[in-house]
Structure 1
Amino acid sequence: MRSTHIISDLHLGGDYAHPRGSGKRGFRLCTRADAVAQFIDGITQKFAQQGPSELILNGDTVDFLAEHDEKPNAWSPFTRDPGLAVKKLQSIVERDQAVFDAMGRFLDKGGRLVVLLGNHDIELSLPTVRAAFRRALGIKAGHDFEFLYDGEAYIVGDALIEHGNRYDSWNQVDYDALRHVRSVQSRRLDVPDEHVFTPPAGSEMVTEVINTIKLDYPFVDLLKPETAAVVPMLLALEPGFRSRLATIALLYSRTRSHGLSNPVTPRFGGDIRSEQDISIIPGEDMGGRTDPAQNGFGEEISSDGNVKTDTDRSEKSAALKEALQAALGNQAERFLRDLDAEIAEADPLGQLGDEVTASDTVSRIYGFAALLFGRTSQPFERRMPALLKAMRGLQDTDTFELGTESAKEYLDAAQMLCDRGGFRYVVFGHTHQAKRVSLGDGRFYLNTGTWADVLRFPNEILKSEADALPALQAFVAQMKAGDFSAWTLFRPTYVHFEVGDDGKVSKAELLNFSEAATS
């Protein structure tokens, strides 16, 4: 009998709160790294009684998106510079050394450690970062360690395990393009094209909008995963980020064909090239593109990777509307009209124009807090129906129910994998919502949840129309003040398998660490 424990979405990364600061979270999703270390040590201590043990870290173990660049208040959706990526990893390890030490002790005792890549820790796949990761874990000869970083799933008996972002079109990783980056970097050569790998649109949303808004609204990064459902929420909080969100929506529209079109009929789009098609010599053509100063969209780029030519404004507007329609349905048009009306009211001379920038001044002029505490409540009341729909699109009454998966794409994917792959159990992470859902015929979809904090909206907002406005006013006021402990949950869940001598899973459980620790 072998015991397997699966955890995911630890999101180790980001600065802790300054000792003199008022906030408790700092710039982190995970505020309980101590519990992670305790959990791993607990598994290690049970070896003698329970026999061989396996620990699987199912993606987003660390969070590069929470690590700032070398200049303040700047973050990268993908840190392509291997030296800087290693520095970010070293910072993560130094803050939470206890977790990495616990993993080292687990390996020293004979445990098997398996790590899968997520969408917040893509940089772990880079050769020099992988080496630094192994050093941080204390990998030695004889340790049973495996790292799957190329999009492969992991199989335990009749169970399939993967992070799950593969089925989230906003957060799919173009592993083919990423492999080319790794291939060049493995030869200690510079990757000659800034856009040979385009990170997921969800990562762009985190670093370009969410991290910046988080400086004023510390709760905003708890809205997971980063999909179209988050767009109206961000736009409602800070209309000043409309241009950035439109650009990200256009990026999503252009790059989503790089991943799976849907979980049932996998199809990879774009220019999928073989290894020999890619030059490893800096300055030479990459994958048939004759002009190294152009990106994959045929747009001219500058030395810092920014597009020089203006993207067609109507194309960006259409992409933003598409994202809003995916989240708000038939309320999307009204939502945008109301935002336009508010901007016109606040800026009657049109000094800022259509393309509102994301400067601090603009975001505070049009921000949600300004509407709540400013000159008039009329704009706030106009925005209320769409804002409520946006929040209810992010969460519903079933979001935190263990036996119900309200996100159809993950349920469909799990059903497909059971039907076509012959698995009895399919385990995802990514959504930050722990699940154990029956698929019929003794088959189950499980989600490991997260060891990071999650945000649960007040029931008055999700259910009651009559009480929604005052409840939302109070909610945002407390959010703005940094006091959202009443709606912040820490639910350290994991999946536990018992695997028999025949190689099949004989027992599958979704457990909570605090409950297991007291049993």
Structure 2
Amino acid sequence: MSDFPAYDEIHVISDIHMGGNRPSFQILKETRRLAGYIGWVGKQCPAGHVALVLNGDVFDTLAEELPGYVAVEQAVTVVERIMKDASFSCIWDALAAFVAGERRTLVLIIGNHDIEMAFPTVQRLIMKRLAGDDLVKRARIEFSTIGAGYTCTVGNARVYCTHGNEVDAWNYNRYEDLAKVGRRLNAGRSLDPKEWYPNAGTRMVKEVMNEVKGKYKWIDLLKPETQAAVGALVVLDPSQATKITNLMSIVGEKTRGGKEVNQRLSAEGFQPREQVDASPVTVNQLLGPNLREIARSQSQQHLQSADEMLAMAEANLGRPNAQITEPAAPLGTWQLIFDRLTGVPKDEALRRALKDWLADDKTFDYTDQDDTFKDVTAAVGSSVDFIITGHTHLERAIDMGGGRFYFNCGTWIRLLRFTDAVLKDRDSFKPVYEVLIDGRMEAIDAATFGGESFVMNQTSAVSVKATNDGVVGCLRHVIGDGSGEPQVIRQFVRA
């Protein structure tokens, strides 16, 4: 294990999502707390070696108003704007103070919202902001932007940190393509926007989410990058009807992408995209049972039965790039589905969409073995004792057995909690609906239901420390102004 950096303790946070050149597009709230936490980490184990790992999605360039899907020539300008933004500058001041300390190391790992961090020009900008021209301070900053994650040792334990999008078919990065862009930037060449093929999650954000977000500032707090959540988007913004065909192709691309990333964390290769065909996506997957019931209940006012209509939709969904047409009716198949969804009161349609999305919800169960846990742990070798991810925004702390442990360090952005009680019926959902339709982040932040705040006061971190009893891994909640000891939520000891 001597080949890897060795620390007395490391502290890991993920999914900060600094970005948004409009305040209403900024989803990171606890900026002062984060700055305080960075300062607290810098004071730990004064005589030892301490690392602070930012485990992906440090920036959120998708929240910036930019043409195309990736900032290339504008990358430095965009990242510099984010670092200078009054909302985030205190965080960068705290990071600069951290790398000024002896035996402190800052590690920045790439995610799927900050892919520009792979470019050498952006890395130099970050180093300049945090360390100036001081070579000693610069040596305390490390980047992991090639999809390899970051491996180190703490005591006698091996720790592996990776964002987690590597196993997410919506949001995988094509690292060779990023390297190609970096080579072009260094060589003074540009990138034709047509040359960049975005992943499905990026398309969802840029083509649909950002437009919906113009009215409903909270929409990406739901992280609706699942098929059932498409129904919620349809209900919320009827003006998006013309884009539904594109949404279908995004779902198809997600299915195809899944075949590309199934070995992303391994040393083996993967199938080139041109050799992979998308699998059919069904209406059952796309809508969910509650919204399908709306479609069926509204069918009597149309010439075609709901079952025939849904069957036609499924046939077309199997060809995600095809035009959605229906010879038996003047409207396209998807338009018929859309009409049925909007044929009931909007509040009831949205309630049903959220029930579909949250069916069997284990969002806040930190012991749940979700898909990211399954896929990452299957790809990581048994020599790794602590595996730490992010990406899902959902904290996890799981004992894998045999002295091995898995953590997801959650997120620092706002989290909304929809309880069974508020989704029970139309009356219970009414006050929630009014806040959501209001659309303003200020209304979201101020809302309480059943005596509890709608926005959870939860900012997560993971620590791994060498102690006299062994190596201790903890899932923690950072509280208050961040300057005090974080609250321990779950702890494991590897003797």
Q: Same fold (TM over 0.5)?
A: yes
Counterpart CA distance in 2 for 1:250 and 1:445 is 34
**Residue 410 (str. 1) matches residue 372 (str. 2):** yes
SS in 1 for 2:106: strand
Q: CA deviation at 1:10?
A: 0.7
Q: CA deviation at 1:213?
A: 0.9
Q: CA deviation at 1:179?
A: 2.0
CA contact (8 A) 2:75 2:122 kept: yes
AA aligned to 1:30 is L
**Residue 126 (str. 1) matches residue 115 (str. 2):** no
Over 3 Å counting, the alpha-carbon distance change for 1:129 and 1:470 in structure 2 is same
Counterpart CA distance in 1 for 2:28 and 2:347 is 35
Over 3 Å counting, the alpha-carbon distance change for 1:247 and 1:342 in structure 2 is farther
Partner of 2:100: 108
CA contact (8 A) 2:56 2:109 kept: yes
Runs of 5+ unmatched residues, structure 1 = 18-25, 70-74, 273-295, 298-314, 345-351, 358-364, 372-376
Counterpart CA distance in 2 for 1:27 and 1:382 is 27
**Residue 9 (str. 1) matches residue 9 (str. 2):** no
Counterpart CA distance in 2 for 1:93 and 1:124 is 13
Over 3 Å counting, the alpha-carbon distance change for 1:196 and 1:92 in structure 2 is same
SS in 2 for 1:256: helix
Over 3 Å counting, the alpha-carbon distance change for 1:90 and 1:335 in structure 2 is farther
CA contact (8 A) 1:229 1:327 kept: yes
**Residue 476 (str. 1) matches residue 433 (str. 2):** yes
Q: 2:270 aligns with which of 268, 271, 276?
A: 268
Q: Encode CA deviations 1:386-443: one digit per residue, 9 max, x unaligned.
A: 51443314xx5531122224x3x2121243145x342222111011111101222232
CA contact (8 A) 1:8 1:58 kept: yes
Q: Encode CA deviations 1:131-176: one digit per residue, 9 max, x unaligned.
A: 2222222353022111011111111222211000112111111112
SS in 1 for 2:37: helix
Over 3 Å counting, the alpha-carbon distance change for 1:225 and 1:331 in structure 2 is closer
CA contact (8 A) 1:417 1:426 kept: no
SS in 1 for 2:421: helix
Over 3 Å counting, the alpha-carbon distance change for 1:384 and 1:38 in structure 2 is closer
**Residue 45 (str. 1) matches residue 43 (str. 2):** yes
**Residue 185 (str. 1) matches residue 194 (str. 2):** no
CA contact (8 A) 2:227 2:251 kept: no
Over 3 Å counting, the alpha-carbon distance change for 1:261 and 1:236 in structure 2 is farther
Counterpart CA distance in 2 for 1:415 and 1:342 is 51
AA aligned to 1:3 is E
**Residue 54 (str. 1) matches residue 88 (str. 2):** no
Over 3 Å counting, the alpha-carbon distance change for 1:177 and 1:243 in structure 2 is farther
SS in 2 for 1:118: coil
Q: 1:509 aligns with which of 470, 474, 477?
A: 474
CA contact (8 A) 1:174 1:199 kept: no
Q: CA deviation at 1:331?
A: 6.3
AA aligned to 2:90 is A
AA aligned to 2:13 is I
Partner of 2:76: 86
CA contact (8 A) 2:232 2:354 kept: no
SS in 1 for 2:111: coil
Over 3 Å counting, the alpha-carbon distance change for 1:332 and 1:78 in structure 2 is farther
Q: CA deviation at 1:458?
A: 3.0
Q: CA deviation at 1:30?
A: 0.2
CA contact (8 A) 1:231 1:323 kept: no
Partner of 2:201: 202
Runs of 5+ unmatched residues, structure 2 = 1-6, 304-329, 449-453, 487-495
Over 3 Å counting, the alpha-carbon distance change for 1:59 and 1:2 in structure 2 is same
Partner of 1:349: none
Q: CA deviation at 1:460?
A: 1.6
Q: Encode CA deviations 1:204-245: one digit per residue, 9 max, x unaligned.
A: 111221111112212111012633343222122224324434
Q: TM-score, normalised by structure 2?
A: 0.76
CA contact (8 A) 1:173 1:259 kept: no
AA aligned to 1:34 is R
CA contact (8 A) 2:259 2:271 kept: yes
Equivalent positions of 1:445-484 (< 5 A) are 445-461=406-422, 467-481=424-438, 482=440, 483-484=443-444
Q: CA deviation at 1:188?
A: 0.9
Partner of 1:218: 217
Partner of 1:256: 257
Q: Encode CA deviations 1:470-495: one digit per residue, 9 max, x unaligned.
A: 23333221111232233112311111
Equivalent positions of 1:36-435 (< 5 A) are 36-48=34-46, 51-69=48-66, 76-80=68-72, 82=73, 84-95=74-85, 96-110=88-102, 111-138=104-131, 140-143=134-137, 144-157=140-153, 158-191=158-191, 193-224=192-223, 226-251=225-250, 253-254=252-253, 256=257, 259-261=260-262, 268-270=270-272, 322=281, 325-326=284-285, 328=287, 354=332, 378-380=344-346, 383=349, 386-393=352-359, 396-405=360-369, 407=370, 409-417=371-379, 420-435=381-396
CA contact (8 A) 1:161 1:428 kept: yes
Higher percent of residues as strand:
2
Q: Encode CA deviations 1:241-300: one digit per residue, 9 max, x unaligned.
A: 24434324424534616731367987622269xxxxxxxxxxxxxxxxxxxxxxx99xxx
AA aligned to 1:199 is P
Over 3 Å counting, the alpha-carbon distance change for 1:53 and 1:518 in structure 2 is closer
AA aligned to 1:142 is V
Identical aligned residues as a percent: 24
Counterpart CA distance in 2 for 1:386 and 1:333 is 10
